[in-house]
Amino acid sequence: MYDRILVLTDGSDDATKAGIEAVNLAKKLDATVVITYIFDQRLSTIANQEEEGQTFIDAIKDYAIQENVNAEDLLIYGSRKNDVMIIARKSDADLIVMARHGNTKNKTTLMGEFSEFVVKNIKLPVLLI
d(CA 48, CA 98): 24
pLDDT in tens, 21-80: 999 999 999 999 999 998 876 665 555 677 888 899 999 999 999 999 999 999 988 888
pLDDT in tens, 87-107: 999 999 999 999 998 666 666
CA-based angle 120:111:39, to the nearest 5?
A: 80
- Residue 25 CB contacts under 8 Å (≥ 6 apart), including other chains: 2, 5, 31, 97, 127
What domains can be seen in the chain, in order of their start residue? 4-128 (3.40.50.620)
